[in-house]
A and B are shown apart, each in its own frame.
Chain A
């Protein structure tokens, strides 16, 4: 599924990822935790193809090297990034945006486009599962959305686009307890044997709802420790310092 080998990324003279290796088999959910500045968001940006990084190494999804592709081609291959800070696009209706995205991905996969009528039906089903108000669809993309609404909108998109690999970049940040529950159960409901997820987070709260198969600790641009779900709790109690000291379990 996703296989990352010796991935490095720098901005100018500053190296942020320093030879990162990661194997994420199909159907598994892995969490990446780590202190501020360890390179967590860089990892998600580099996987999704954001400009501005000098990159080497490889990151293959189903045998295709993502690093060779444009961002939209990676999306078509089934990569989805749930943004930490979803972007506002004034004047563009959410419904129109979602349908355009879905059809772009479907076109790329050689599937038929979804008509406006069918899409509305589909979107309503997905929204009901995420406890979202259908009025969402008629608003502009993320414009004037609260933090919780923006994150829910990300998960709605993920739900509609049915990605092969979902990268969630601090999806739990800025959410109150109720919003976290809704978003997290939404994410958990999207687990399936053909889908892998990489959950990037600071806190283990989200992982209570979405139990990861593995937890990786990212420090200073590398995976320094890997464990099971219990590692998240250990980190919460003891902080990242013991991990950076290299006491790999």
Chain B
């Protein structure tokens, strides 16, 4: 099996193409002037510029965190572009037909035909290239029930009061180093607003694509679910293959008011770098939700890409009887490093949380689960169940688990289970005796290992996730 595992390194990234789209940049580097320039380009109101500048000034006083179980050369924050956008070839498109054909072709190539999405699939898509949103589908249909789904920039223009009331209320600009950076220079992202009592009639989805060179992507997503509403939201991401590392520092804020429910799914497939660990995306992301009384926030993530993943989608269980869930599959191969997990902060009474984490490492990759369950004094009757399973393929990779538990209320029940296993020779031989190739067998065993998490994904994405998993592990064995 060992020589076979070496071939893991041969995997290829299927989305590594670069589109020849004319791109507009602001000058390289980070300064107050750049922040002002970004804000001006987006024709933002004064309050938002001030908000950015406050974040920028605070960022300049901060140092990069070092507690992650990840290693990389120092990032030169002055040596990248903070704003890159496809150059408009005229006035902004009013409909999909007016979207630049080259951009549409890019998404077609990624398997996300915007036109087709609009006609067939019943999933509303916001497509983002580099720093700007290029198209949002199904807007009119969503508007009929009062759902707002648009790019962040548009939300700032059209619904400033909603943005202002919620922006930064879950992830404040000073929260952490990367959140502060994002708050200063964030470019675009998606905004969703579900009015009280409305069940959003379709899946909402944002597709992020980094195309430009030497640029970072700093998007900001804000989802507000008013009382008693429900929404399911998906994000997908890819980037071209490049030799240099690119930074992706996003912030996602979810607000589920009383009795609301938000389901947020991610299929992350940023370019992971080559077999020698050259290039790839640094994915340093802050995702957090706040749940009101009886509200539910559920994160599901399938992380296969990025050179380094550093993210902890979290839930603040503020309201009584609120529910938080985190289902995660993180795959790392070659020299990829993943340090991911969640935080569940129990504040309200009878709040409950579930954590299921499946880490898969192959090649020389390192996979870390880092999770925190915090039960405050007020959280009478809080419950948490955590399960962390790690699967190792080969003998040069590593799996690490750092569970932090902090309980300040005696009535809380917190359970933690963990396991580490290898794909056994017995399992492989059994499958091969039945006619499966070693590669098919591996993929089947790995998918079985992840099943509980895949079951949480919306149907079509579950299929995509399985296919992605297979692609990621191609050559891992076989």
Listed in ascending order, the chain A residues whose CB lies under 8 Å from chain B are 48-51, 70-72, 74-76, 80-81, 83, 86-87, 89-92, 97, 100-102, 104-105, 108, 140-141, 157, 161
Q: Once the chains bind, are A104 and B434 in contact (CB under 8 Å)?
A: yes
| Interchain CB contact (< 8 A) of B434 among A51, A70, A101, A140 | A101
Q: Once the chains bind, are B427 and A91 in contact (CB under 8 Å)?
A: no
The CA of A100 and the CA of B451, in the complex, are separated in Å by 17
Q: Once the chains bind, are B427 and A89 in contact (CB under 8 Å)?
A: yes
Whole-angstrom distance between the Cβ of A224 and the nearest chain B Cβ: 28
Q: Once the chains bind, are A104 and B449 in contact (CB under 8 Å)?
A: no
Q: Once the chains bind, are A89 and B435 in contact (CB under 8 Å)?
A: no
B410-427 CB mask vs A (1 if < 8 Å, else 0) is 000000000000001111
- What are 25 A-to-B residue pairs whose CB atoms are below 8 Å? A49-B432, A49-B433, A51-B429, A71-B429, A72-B432, A72-B436, A75-B433, A76-B435, A87-B429, A87-B430, A89-B427, A89-B431, A89-B445, A90-B448, A90-B449, A91-B448, A92-B444, A92-B445, A92-B447, A97-B434, A97-B444, A101-B431, A104-B434, A104-B437, A161-B435
From known contacts A51-B425, A104-B440, infer whether A71 and B448 are also in contact, taking CB-CB under 8 Å: no
Q: Once the chains bind, are A91 and B450 in contact (CB under 8 Å)?
A: yes
| Interchain CB contact (< 8 A) of B432 among A71, A92, A100 | A71
From known contacts A83-B430, A104-B434, infer whether A89 and B440 are also in contact, taking CB-CB under 8 Å: no
From known contacts A51-B425, A104-B440, infer whether A140 and B432 are also in contact, taking CB-CB under 8 Å: no
Q: Once the chains bind, are B429 and A104 in contact (CB under 8 Å)?
A: no
Give every chain B residue within 8 A of A90 (Cβ-Cβ).
Answer: 448-449
Whole-angstrom distance between the Cβ of B391 and the nearest chain A Cβ: 10
Whether a CB of chain A sits under 8 angstroms from the CB of B7 is no
The CA of A105 and the CA of B431, in the complex, are separated in Å by 12
The CA of A97 and the CA of B427, in the complex, are separated in Å by 12
Which B residues between 226 and 263 are near A, CB-CB below 8 angstroms? Answer: none
The CA of A105 and the CA of B426, in the complex, are separated in Å by 20
Whether a CB of chain A sits under 8 angstroms from the CB of B44 is no
The CA of A86 and the CA of B429, in the complex, are separated in Å by 11
Which B residues between 45 and 82 are near A, CB-CB below 8 angstroms? Answer: none
Whole-angstrom distance between the Cβ of B478 and the nearest chain A Cβ: 11
Q: Once the chains bind, are A100 and B433 in contact (CB under 8 Å)?
A: no
Listed from nearest, the 6 A-B pairs whose CB atoms lie closest are A91-B448, A92-B448, A91-B451, A104-B435, A101-B434, A71-B432
Give every chain A residue within 8 A of B440 (Cβ-Cβ).
Answer: 100, 104
A50-B429, A81-B433, A89-B448 given; 14 more Cβ-contact pairs under 8 Å = A48-B429, A48-B433, A49-B433, A51-B425, A75-B433, A75-B434, A87-B426, A92-B447, A97-B434, A101-B435, A104-B437, A105-B435, A140-B448, A161-B435
The CA of A86 and the CA of B426, in the complex, are separated in Å by 9
Whether a CB of chain A sits under 8 angstroms from the CB of B214 is no
Q: Once the chains bind, are B436 and A101 in contact (CB under 8 Å)?
A: yes
Give every chain A residue within 8 A of B426 (Cβ-Cβ).
Answer: 87
The CA of A97 and the CA of B429, in the complex, are separated in Å by 14
The CA of A12 and the CA of B464, in the complex, are separated in Å by 45
The CA of A50 and the CA of B431, in the complex, are separated in Å by 12
Whether a CB of chain A sits under 8 angstroms from the CB of B6 is no
Listed in ascending order, the chain B residues whose CB lies under 8 Å from chain A are 1, 424-427, 429-438, 440, 444-445, 447-452
Give every chain B residue within 8 A of A81 (Cβ-Cβ).
Answer: 433
The CA of A76 and the CA of B431, in the complex, are separated in Å by 12
Give every chain A residue within 8 A of B429 (Cβ-Cβ).
Answer: 48, 50-51, 71, 87
Q: Once the chains bind, are A108 and B448 in contact (CB under 8 Å)?
A: no
Whole-angstrom distance between the Cβ of A177 and the nearest chain B Cβ: 27
Give every chain A residue within 8 A of B452 (Cβ-Cβ).
Answer: 91
B451, closest chain A residue (CB): A91
The CA of A5 and the CA of B408, in the complex, are separated in Å by 72
The CA of A91 and the CA of B449, in the complex, are separated in Å by 6
From known contacts A89-B427, A91-B451, A104-B440, infer whether A157 and B434 are also in contact, taking CB-CB under 8 Å: yes
From known contacts A87-B426, A92-B444, A104-B440, infer whether A70 and B432 are also in contact, taking CB-CB under 8 Å: yes
A102, closest chain B residue (CB): B435
Give every chain B residue within 8 A of A100 (Cβ-Cβ).
Answer: 436, 440, 444
> Which of B430, B447, B449, B451 has the largest number of chain A CB atoms within 10 A?
B430
B445, closest chain A residue (CB): A89
| Interchain CB contact (< 8 A) of B433 among A71, A89, A92, A141 | A71
The CA of A51 and the CA of B3, in the complex, are separated in Å by 13
Give every chain A residue within 8 A of B437 (Cβ-Cβ).
Answer: 72, 104
Give every chain A residue within 8 A of B425 (Cβ-Cβ).
Answer: 51
A51, closest chain B residue (CB): B425
| Interchain CB contact (< 8 A) of A72 among B435, B445, B450, B451 | B435
| Interchain CB contact (< 8 A) of A161 among B1, B430, B434, B436 | B434
The CA of A101 and the CA of B444, in the complex, are separated in Å by 11
The CA of A91 and the CA of B458, in the complex, are separated in Å by 18
The CA of A80 and the CA of B402, in the complex, are separated in Å by 44
The CA of A97 and the CA of B431, in the complex, are separated in Å by 9
Give every chain B residue within 8 A of A87 (Cβ-Cβ).
Answer: 424, 426-427, 429-430
Whole-angstrom distance between the Cβ of B86 and the nearest chain A Cβ: 42
The CA of A157 and the CA of B431, in the complex, are separated in Å by 12
Give every chain B residue within 8 A of A89 (Cβ-Cβ).
Answer: 427, 430-431, 444-445, 448
The CA of A80 and the CA of B435, in the complex, are separated in Å by 9
A83, closest chain B residue (CB): B430
> Which of B432, B433, B440 has the largest number of chain A CB atoms within 10 A?
B433
Whole-angstrom distance between the Cβ of B306 and the nearest chain A Cβ: 25
Give every chain A residue within 8 A of B448 (Cβ-Cβ).
Answer: 89-92, 140-141
> Which of B1, B424, B425, B435 has the largest number of chain A CB atoms within 10 A?
B435
Give every chain B residue within 8 A of A101 (Cβ-Cβ).
Answer: 431, 434-436
Give every chain A residue within 8 A of B431 (Cβ-Cβ).
Answer: 89, 97, 101
The CA of A100 and the CA of B466, in the complex, are separated in Å by 15
B389, closest chain A residue (CB): A90
A90, closest chain B residue (CB): B448
Q: Once the chains bind, are A86 and B435 in contact (CB under 8 Å)?
A: no
Whole-angstrom distance between the Cβ of B331 and the nearest chain A Cβ: 15
Give every chain B residue within 8 A of A83 (Cβ-Cβ).
Answer: 430, 433
